[in-house]
């Protein structure tokens, strides 16, 4: 199982300038090469290497291996959609293979720059130290918007031995509640929604301020910098919350010896029209795919199976008698079966149905 470790680098001022100059030059070269590849409609790495390898080295001052990585980066991006010319941001992550970097123990890394190699201290937590021994292949050097440097290291972690299971934990992913299990444990979205609304209002205010400054003939540089910082903060909050939820669900499955039944959420964004406008904003503001991915990889690490099930009508079907009717969903939060009178929290009822479907699929 391939995972990515985000390891913070702590370069001094001089080293940070060298890294920044290298990343900028690499992406400048990538944009130039992308324009040539698009003009020629050429997505063959060998052909581009023959045509532009020496040009990249002479024109942009890239080392031999940097030029090779630049060509590979452009080819990979161009192959995704040959109708569009690839574009690389000034500070987009720069790939480093094992010829461009090497670890010096667990606290330093040697990185090649335009001015030669630099030795940079690293900062790792306990979790990262545990996985560090599985580091393998290419990494990415990234400059975050807040000025911090990170090395995104690929690690090939072995899956845990499969745990034999005969039962499932049903998990319902929702809008008001991010996740609810079939035994009623609820991960509320109230705190998440408060942060989303707060950030939305702040973004709106800053965007208006930037627009006013442009009309006055002024450059809204500081405002745009603040907008970038807010965007990164919201993303990190969302990611951290998803990590906490996924860890708790996997721990519960491990402690009870059960597998995990999850909704197959393919096309969830296409179904946004069935939600009211305020709910669509909530739905777009949360990464269900990220949460599902976190649950899946954490489960694989400890040998817990994930069973995807069709989520259709799970919120309208009675978990007791199986009667399905739209009016069973009494309110957004409550379920009341029109046939047997079963009453429950709507999300818990849905989670029970998800578990039941997983058991049927296993039979």
Active site residues: 172, 263, 347
Give the separation between CA 329 and CA 346, rounded to whole angstroms: 7
Q: Provide φ and ψ at 44, rounded to 5°.
A: -95, 120
Find all residues with CB under 8 Å of 341, minimum gap 6, and list them. none
What does the DSSP assignment read for 68-110?
Answer: HHHHHHHHHHHHH-TTS-----TT--EEE-TTTEEE-TTSEEE
Instruction: Quickly tell me which residue has 């001089």 as its tokens.
Output: 14
Pairing of strands 259-263, 306-309: parallel
Q: Provide φ and ψ at 317, rounded to 5°.
A: -100, 135
Separation in Å, CA 135 to CA 119, 302, 332, 348: 18, 19, 46, 40
Give the separation between CA 298 and CA 21, rounded to whole angstroms: 37
């Amino acid at each position: 199982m391939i995972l990515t470790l985000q390891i913070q680098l702590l370069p001094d001022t001089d080293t940070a300038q060298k890294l920044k100059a290298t990343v900028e030059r690499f992406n400048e070269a990538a944009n130039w090469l992308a324009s040539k590849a698009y003009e020629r409609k050429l997505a063959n790495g060998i052909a581009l290497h023959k045509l532009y390898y020496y040009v990249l080295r002479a024109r942009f001052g890239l080392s031999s291996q940097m030029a090779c990585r630049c060509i590979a980066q452009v080819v990979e991006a161009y192959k995704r959609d040959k109708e569009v010319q690839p574009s690389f941001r000034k500070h987009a992550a720069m790939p480093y293979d094992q010829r461009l970097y090497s670890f010096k123990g667990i606290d330093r890394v040697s990185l090649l720059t335009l001015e030669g190699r630099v030795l940079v201290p690293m900062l790792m937590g306990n979790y990262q130290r545990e996985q560090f021994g599985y580091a393998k292949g290419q990494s990415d050097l990234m400059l975050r918007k807040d000025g911090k440097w990170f090395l995104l290291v690929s690690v090939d972690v072995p899956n845990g031995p499969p745990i034999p299971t005969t039962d499932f934990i049903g998990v319902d992913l929702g809008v008001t509640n991010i996740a609810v299990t079939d035994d009623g444990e609820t991960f509320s979205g109230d705190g998440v929604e408060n942060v989303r609304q707060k950030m939305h209002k702040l973004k709106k205010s800053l965007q208006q301020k930037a627009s006013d400054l442009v009309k006055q003939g002024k450059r809204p540089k500081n405002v745009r910098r603040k907008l970038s910082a807010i965007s990164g903060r919201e993303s990190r909050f969302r990611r951290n919350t998803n990590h906490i939820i996924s860890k708790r669900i996997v721990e519960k499955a491990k402690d009870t010896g059960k597998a995990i039944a999850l909704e197959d959420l393919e096309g969830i964004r296409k179904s946004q029209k069935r939600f009211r406008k305020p709910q669509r904003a909530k739905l777009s503001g949360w990464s269900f795919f990220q949460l599902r991915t976190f649950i899946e990889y954490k489960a694989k690490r400890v040998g817990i199976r994930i069973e995807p099930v069709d989520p259709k009508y799970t919120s309208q079907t009675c978990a007791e008698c199986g009667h399905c009717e739209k009016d069973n969903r009494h309110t957004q939060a409550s379920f009341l079966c029109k046939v047997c009178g079963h009453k429950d929290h709507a999300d818990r009822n849905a989670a029970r149905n998800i578990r039941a479907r997983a058991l049927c699929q296993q039979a």
